[in-house]
Structure 1
């Protein structure tokens, strides 16, 4: 476990920038204050924003995409486009690539995270997105399924209401925008604590991030994560775990995990991804 702690300490902290990655727990406010969506538009350039929407996770991409187009246009974005990517070969389309190379904000809708990864992973379109996010050229947001894909390891499904065990969570490979984390969405709303804990027990070199509905974990490039919205963000930190039986028990047997650290953060609270420090909203840094 000391080796895992050393690994975290060795990670370099990138420089701050105005772009960010917004990981949204789903069911974000689309009607009233729209705080999370307004923050996304602002971080994408405000009235100069060029926003591209990828609704590939949805079974009704045209309907869900059209709704976000209207919202972002109402918020004053200069240009809003829908990339209705349903097959992998569409990722090579010249128009789609140009949109991804020039947009200032990219929004991934909800739906099925496996469908989204199946369409985007290991494509030239994905290479463009990952490079532009990594270099701070693009603000990225994903809600629900679009949030689940943010880590390298992804929760694809699972149950709740039992003691933590390996059978509770189905894992797959995500899109890896924030490879250090495993994200679970609709978190307290669907009682998903045990499945996130089960996922982290299997991947103790990652950090668990559980995000409630109408709540956002906004990751800055300097390593800080800030909470926005009405619910909470739960951080499951296994860095100092002293013992787990996870490698030695059957899939349905209860897990033992000693000394796991838990943080529950609400609006304005901040957490540093690499330093593992918490900053309460009372003392939050001005943006």
Structure 2
């Protein structure tokens, strides 16, 4: 009788644990119906733009919106971005610029929400988030992604995809610009991005500008996140919890599965860091 009692308790505990684990898994999953098209900057080959057009469906119906707020010259950003679509015969892509503090009309918010494709131009990701963060524009972008839109971005437009966004600034060495010279604690500056990609930090122009040190720093200090370095003329297409590499170069994925972190003074160290160098056509999971 006593054995049967304990067996019953064990079965009850197993049964109760299953839904809890399922809820946790469901909560972690990317349930958005849309896709992300995250470009590492540089030139965008025609094959890449055709891929973007194809998955967004704007060659068949719907429309695209270019958001140029990262750029110091928004009109020029819209002009050059539109060229890459108009050369494919598409005239249903328009620019929509906002300045900090602008009142967003209901019609403007509705246009963003129902766009088949939203394209975020390059420039300065901090400028973009200063204008867009915690506004109806941000809400509209997220709702569009939730409903099934393709959200694309290049360079700064790639950086803003992350929940924790690389600003490009070094806190310890503000005079350095091109790349991090060291792997140090409390040096990489992260701010709030759009949060469309919650499990990773995105970096751009990655191989061309040798930005490895700052992603090493990121995955050591934020071990729960992947570091995704996307080179120029290259992109990842995110659908659900997986990504595919497209374009002309590589994507480098950094992870810290052991959540290792060591420190000597300001220098950071870690063991068992994983680095994957992925070629076009490769697929990878966005779950740690």
- TM-score by structure 1 length? 0.82
Match of 2:197 among 175, 178, 182: 178
Preserved CA contact (<8 Å) 2:58 2:116: no
2: distance between equivalents of 1:256 and 1:195?
13
Gaps of 5+ in 1: 1-5, 277-287
TM-score in terms of structure 2 length = 0.82
Task: Tell me if structure 2 keeps the 8 A contact 1:25–1:216.
Answer: yes
> Pick from 34, 44, 47: which aligns with 2:46?
34
> Contact 1:166–1:199 at 8 Å: present in 2 too?
no
> Of residues 36, 41, 60 in structure 2, which corresponds to 1:21?
36
- How many residues align? The count is 256
Say which of 149, 152, 155 aligns to 1:138.
149
Name the CA distance, whole Å, in 2 between partners of 1:261 and 1:270: 16
Q: Is residue 2:99 matched to residue 1:81?
A: no
Distance 1:15 1:180 in 2: 13
> 5 Å matches for 1:265-284?
265-274=278-287
Is 2:113–2:143's contact at 8 Å kept on the other side of the alignment?
no
What is the CA–CA distance in structure 2 between the aligned matches of 1:161 and 1:52, rounded to whole Å? 34
Does the CA contact (< 8 Å) of 2:67 and 2:118 recur in 1?
A: yes
Poorly superposed stretches of 4+, deviation over 4 Å: 14-17
- Segments of structure 2 that go 5 or more residues without pairing to the other structure are 1-20, 171-175
| Separation in structure 1 between the aligned mates of residue 256 and residue 126 of structure 2, nearest angstrom | 26
Match of 1:279 in 2: none
Q: Give the C-alpha shift of residue 270 in structure 1.
A: 0.3
Match of 1:245 in 2: 262
Alignment match of 1:205 (pick from 215, 224, 248): 224
How far off its partner does 1:201 sit? 1.4
Please give the root-mean-square deviation of Cα atoms over the aligned residues, in Å: 2.1
Corresponding residue to 2:214 among 195, 210, 218: 195
1:119 aligns with 2:134: no
CA distance in 2, matches of 1:191, 1:205: 23
Distance 1:213 1:265 in 2: 14
Larger Cα-atom Rg = 2
CA contact (8 A) 1:163 1:255 kept: no
The equivalent of 1:149 in structure 2 is 160
Cα distance change of structure 1 residues 16 and 269 upon mapping to structure 2, 3 Å threshold = farther
Report the Cα distance in structure 2 between the residues aligned to 1:237 and 1:215, rounded to whole angstroms: 20
Give the 3 Å change call, closer, same or farther, for CA 153–16 of structure 1 in structure 2. closer
Pairwise mapping of residues 157-168 of structure 1 onto structure 2 (< 5 A)?
A: 157=168, 158=170, 160=179, 162-166=181-185, 168=187
> Compared with structure 1, are the counterparts of its residues 118 and 225 closer, same or farther at alpha carbon in structure 2 (3 Å cutoff)?
same
Take 1:116 and 1:217, find their aligned partners in 2: how far apart are those partners? 21
- Residues of 1 paired with 2:68 and 2:180: CA distance? 31
Q: Does 1:217 align with 2:236?
A: yes
Partner of 2:10: none
- Give the drift of 1:161: 5.3
